[in-house]
Structure formats: C-alpha cells, structure tokens
Amino acid sequence: MRYLLISCCFLLVSCGSYPSKNGFVVDEVSYPTILNPYFSNPDLDYVYKAQIKISDNNFGGILIVKKINNQEYRVVFTTEMGNKLFDFSYIKDGFKVNSILKEMDKKMLVNILKKDFKVLIEENPMRINSFRKNDYSIVQAHIYKKDHYYFFNKNSLEKIIRAKNRNENTRFIFSNIHNDIIKNIQILHSKIKLEITLTKI
C-alpha cells in the first residue's frame, strides 16, 4: 500500500508538471547573468509599431520601451499622432499606471498588460531549474510568482512560455534578432482573446 501511494503521488506530480508533459530533460548548465538582454540598453529607445487585439477591439499605434536605469523602465503606447493610449512605469518590483485610455482601463486588462510587458523587460528573473529539449536549452524562472520557461537556441532567446501546471498560458515569440535587437515580437494568450504584435521601427 505504501509503495502504491508513493507511485500515485509521483504520477500526479509528473502529470502536473509542464516540463514533464513536454519531455524536458533536467540539464545542469550555466547561463549568462542576463537571461533576457533585449531591452537592457539604457542608451536606446526601443520603438515598435504595435497592434493590440482584445476580443473584437483593435488598438494600433507606436510602443516605446525605455530603460531609465537599472531599477526603472517606462512603457508607453501612443497613436501614430502621438496621443497616449497607456503609459506604464516599472520601478524595482513596483508598477504604476501613469495614464491609460478609458476604453482600456479595465482592471483585468491592465493586470495582463502589466505582466506581459514585465516579461519583456525583466532581464534576470529568479531562476528555478534548467532543462534541455532537442536543440533548445531551457531555463525555468519566476516572474510575479508564475512559471516562465526561456527557450534558447545557440544562446539566442527565441521564446518565453508562461505556464500554469501542465498547460501553456502565454507565448512570447521573438524573431529576426540581430545584436540583441528583436525585429518582430508576438505575445499570444491561449485562455483569452488577446494578441500583441510588435514590429521594430
């Protein structure tokens, strides 16, 4: 009976894990200090043409990401005419809405956007584990106490998966990368109708 209980517990833990579901193999390797270097240069303004699709609503404009210093970031979304749709500040572990369009000022949406852009700007989240699958080296890390999996191909970060238990929740896809500058970014949510597409200007 004792062995049966142990086996059942092991099975439940295995089935409840995103890495086990996807065939990740634990891999003890060392990674660079900065897991995500893509928005880490304070001398640059990262400017993207942006589309945010929320259910049947579509917001288009310009997204600007700026690292102010080692503890502060600013994320601003404007129309192409320069009117602000939202303006967020990240200071240490804090978050502030400086301004937001009335149509977007919904508690759930603001919380989702807060988490999504935090993933983009977080350089060195708390690491939990490391894995390998096929050509990918994968680092498991926590952001806002949620599991995020960083997929590296030849030391280039190509995607981040936010997962809950066994299932993927949000996918961050990076493509056309050169000198730590990403040309194209997609943020795709699996549980809600929300998609963010960014194209470098």
Residue entry with tokens 């893509």: 38
DSSP 192: S
Low-confidence ranges of the chain (pLDDT < 50): 1-15
User: May I ask the CATH architecture of the domain 21-200?
Assistant: Clam (2.50)
pLDDT at residue 62 in the model: 98
78-116 per-residue burial string, b: 16 or more CB within 10 A, e: under 16: beeeeeebbbbebeeeebeeeebeeebeeeebbebbbbb
For the chain, the structural domain boundaries read: 21-200
Query: Which two three-digit tokens encode residue 200?
Result: 């470098």
Q: Is 167 buried (19+), middle (13-18) or exposed (0-12) by CB count in 10 A?
A: exposed
Phi, psi of 94 (to 5 degrees): -90, 165
Predicted confidence (pLDDT) per residue in 40-96, tens digit: 999 999 999 999 999 889 999 999 999 999 999 999 999 999 899 999 999 988 999
Sign of CA dihedral 160, 162, 167, 169: negative
- What DSSP designation does 190 have? S
pLDDT of residue 16: 58
What pLDDT is stored for residue 37 in this prediction? 94
Residue 188 has a CB neighbour count (10 Å cut-off) of: 13
DSSP 79-138: -TTS-EEEEEEEETTEEEEEEE-GGG--HHHHHHHHHHHHHHH-SSPEEEEEEEETTEEE
